[in-house]
Structures are given as structure tokens and as C-alpha cells.
A and B are shown apart, each in its own frame.
Chain A
Amino acid sequence: MKYLLLIYGAPDASPTPDSPEFEAYMAGYVKADETFDKQGVMRGGEALEGTDTATSVRVRGGKTETMDGPFAETKEQLGGFYLLDCDNLDDAIRYAAMIPDAATGTVEIRPVMDVSQFAE
């Protein structure tokens, strides 16, 4: 089953490159990536630039509207994601717990919709 793991965190919550915790933090991500690869569950994953670089798009009445900023201004913001293909939710939860930002923020696990159910 495919799951999207959405990594949310407050912008100042994770260690900055000049801080002493940064090395351990990055090592945590390297370890997570390695584990996901080794377990054969990795299907994708990226870190995202901050919400101050975001652009939001809506089309209303045929008109394309763009806004400067994220969809919603929230304290915890989307900072990255993983797409994993694992057996069940318990596995997904275990993998989510390995993500360093889970310690200061939240990782939301969403099952990817199985569109083959709609196919004829």
C-alpha cells in the first residue's frame, strides 16, 4: 500500500546548519533514507523550500488567480514528504517515527487512493 508521509514542523523548530544539533539531525535523515531503501519501500521523498517561497493557485470563473504564500498560514508548515510503499499502517507508522522532524513536529500519514477501483 502506498502512503504519503507529510512532514510538518514549525520553521524554527528544526536545527539550523550552524547549530551543534544539525549534524545529528541530518544523520537521522540519512539513516531514514537508507532504511527505506534497504526495506524496499522508498518511492520518493524531498525536502521543500519554506512557505515564504510558496505560490498558491486558484482558477475561478476561468480566471487563474495566484497568491503569494502557502494555502494556509499555519504554525506547523509542510516541510517535506516521503512516498513509501509498505505492507500496512503499522509499518508506515514505524517509518514515520524515524523521521527526525517527527521529534519536534508532526508527520501525517495519508494512504494513497487506489484508483484502480474506478477502472473498468
Chain B
Amino acid sequence: MNDVSQPAPVRPALREVVRADGGRLLALLIRQLGDFQLAEDCLQDALTSAMEHWQRNGVPSSPEGWLLQVARRKAIDRLRRAARLRDKGAEYAHLLELEATQPEVAPEQIPDERLRLIFTCCHPALDERTRVALTLRTLGGLTTEEIARAFVVKPSTMAQRLVRARRKITKAGIPFRVPDAEEWPARLHGVLTVLYLVFNEGYASSGAPYIRADLCEEAIRLARILLGLCPEEPELEGLLALMGLHHARRPARLGPDGAMVPLEEQDRAAWDHEAIAAGAALVERALRRGRPGPYQIQAAIGALHAEAPSAAETDWHQIVLLYEALEKHRDNPVYALNRIAAIAHTRGAGEALNQLEPLQRSLGDYQPLHALKADLLRRQGQYAEAVQAYDRAIARANNDADRRFLEKRRASMSH
């Protein structure tokens, strides 16, 4: 189908438009059509149309404007054909008017309804995996296949999940709007959770490869878009800083043997120090707003790690204090676990092991707990018990990178 004399190939150009647009077109269409699935279908129609037309006539100067025009026309067609005019009468009339009065749409004229879109995708009436999938699809512009791969499900399963989600939004009357002041904190928290889930899936994936930089970068990109839309949210700034600081260490996190490299052994020269500086500045800016929260605190901890010239020169005392502050915000045993790991550096492995005992009851079979216990026992020279703990940690590891690292540590004790 493509011949050698073709100008810039259409498919990648189209894909780039969809990705870069970050859901702005879809958000506007949803607003104007009052229907998530209809908007999605019309945009898909427009993309199919674009493949054909741009192949013949080249990519237009305003690709977004072109797509919006065509999507609107497709909507007019669909509404007319489906005899849904009765309940879509107002939208139909409005579309016809826009068609008549707005022959050309410049990108600046496309209002940004993405804030409504993000909050709708992350509505609490949708379950968490649905929120994540829908956000990646509509705002991230990832294909269904890409999202399916990220979360290790069949593409057909993911497609069904998305269809069900849009159907629920329409049938159950999930409103397309930004939450009011009363609901804002809880709803924003929901959005941040979704973004963090996407990031974590890229940071420590349960599938292969272990690190999916594209997902991390997607989460960071979406968080930046959101920050542009709500510029004064400290927890959002904290989350963006946290993700940036974690991601900055990516080049050093995996060894050539595919084993995870722990923080204290990572080659700090390989870290992205520009990103670290940016992350540190961002969390400082957030904290100055005087509304601390879990993401800001975790980002502050991340900054202390990332800015330390070496593991030995890390301000472990400050880190312990920050974890204590974090635990006050949320009684999460995982935070306690991390605090205890830090205490091993301020008060020694023995004290840390003492503090780990009661935690074992609430965390039970949590793999990182076994891994930490093994490490502490090893540092104490209690090799027999360390081996047992390493075995437990290895058995529960859900990825090869962690497993290989733990096996190496276990083996290192028999010399």
C-alpha cells in the first residue's frame, strides 16, 4: 500500500497526534455529545478517515482541527442513523450549528475538557483496574493491545473491560464533570492513585521486562498534563516529584545479569541528575504550600536518597523522621517496614530486627518483609536464619529481577 515516493508516513504521524493530544479531542467530543462511547466511536471513525485522506492529500496543517471536524460530522451521521434524535436532539442541533459556523478549527480554539475526562475515568464507581485501563486509553492514547500487554491480560479481555467501562459511565449516569470542592480531596486522591499504579507497573513490573520505562514515562506525562490543569495541588506536585526521582535512577537499577541492584549498590553516576534536581526542586515547592501529604513526604525521602553522594552519606536520621511523619498520615504497614529498613542504618540491624517482630503479625506473608528480614539477619551474621528468610523471600518473589538478586545474596553467605 505504501510506495517509495510517499511523504511522511501517515500511521506514525496519526499516532503521534493521538498521543500528544492527550485526550483533548476525546474530552471535547464527550462534552459536546454527552456520551462517552459515541465520542470514542466518532473519534475512531475520524482516525480511520484520516488514514485514507492524509495518505492521499498529506497531513493537514491542523491535524487536531481536521479530526475534530470529521468526528463531529460522523457524530451527526451516527445520530441521524441510529434514530437517537429523541434524546440527543439538543446535541444534534448544536453539532449542526457548529458545522455551519466553524468551517475551520484552529488548535487554540479547542477547549480543554481533559480535567473532566480524568476525573470521569477515575470515578470511584469504576473498579481500580478499570480506572487505570480507561485512563491509559483515553488520556494516554495507548492502544488496547498496549494496555493489555502492560497488565498481562488478553487484548480481548482488555477490550471488554473498556467497553464495559464506557457502557457503565453512560448507563449509570457517571457525570462528566470536575468534582466540587467537598469531593475534591477524595477524588483527586483517586486520580493520583491511578497514576501511581501506572507508574509502579512500569517501575517494578510483574511481567517481563521488569522495568517498563514507557509506562513510567506515561504516568509522568499524565501527571504533568494534570499539573498544567491544576497547578496548585501539592500532593500532585509531590507525586510528580516522586515519580521523577524514582525514574531518574532507572539506568542503574538492573544489572547486566538481569538481577535487581539495590539502592546502596547502584552506580550513582548513571543516575539522571538533572531529573533529580528537578524532582527535588518540585517537592520543595510543594512543601512550601504548607499542606503536607503522603506523596510529598515520600518524594522528600526520595530526594534525600537521590541527592546523597553515596549510600553511606545518606541522611538516614532525616529519612527515619520522614517515615514517622508518613505513618502519621496513613497507618500503612509498608511505611513501617521502610522505616525499619532505615533504622537499620541509624540504630543497627539488631534494633531493626526487634522492631520487625510485631510487624510480622500485620504484614504476614508480605514478600518485602521476608527480604528485609533476610538482609538484616545477614548483616548480623545470623546466616542460618538468614538463609531461611531468603528462601521465603525467593519463593514469594513475583519477578525474575528480584529473585536473581535474592539468590545472589543468599549464595554470598556461603563464602
Contact = CB atoms under 8 A, between A and B. Distances in A.
Q: Do A and B bind each other?
A: yes
Interface of A: 1, 3, 87-90, 92-93, 109, 111, 116-117
A89 B183 CA distance: 14
A88 B86 contact: no
A92 to B, nearest CB: 7
B125 A89 contact: yes
B175 A90 contact: yes
A87 B86 contact: no
19 contacts: A1-B173, A3-B173, A87-B173, A88-B173, A88-B174, A88-B175, A89-B123, A89-B173, A89-B175, A90-B174, A90-B175, A90-B179, A90-B183, A93-B125, A109-B172, A111-B173, A116-B87, A117-B84, A117-B87
Contacts of B123: 89
B183 to A, nearest CB: 8
A87 B175 contact: yes
B289 interface: no
Interface residues of B, number: 12
Contacts of A111: 171-173
Nearest to B86: A116
Contacts of B179: 90
B86 A89 contact: no
A47 B84 CA distance: 37
Interface of B: 84, 86-87, 123, 125, 171-175, 179, 183
Contacts, number: 27
A26 to B, nearest CB: 27
Contacts of A90: 174-175, 179, 183
Nearest to B180: A90
Nearest to B124: A93
A3 B171 CA distance: 11
A56 to B, nearest CB: 28
A111 B173 CA distance: 8
Contacts of B174: 88-90
A89, A93, A117 — most chain B CB neighbours (10 Å): A89
Contacts of B173: 1, 3, 87-89, 92, 111
A-B pairs, 5 with minimum CB distance = A88-B175, A88-B173, A1-B173, A89-B173, A89-B174
A85 B390 CA distance: 59
Contacts of B86: 116
Query: Which one of A1, A90, A93, A116 has the highest number of Cβ atoms from chain B below 10 Å of its Cβ?
Result: A90
B174 to A, nearest CB: 5
A93 to B, nearest CB: 7
A84 B183 CA distance: 21
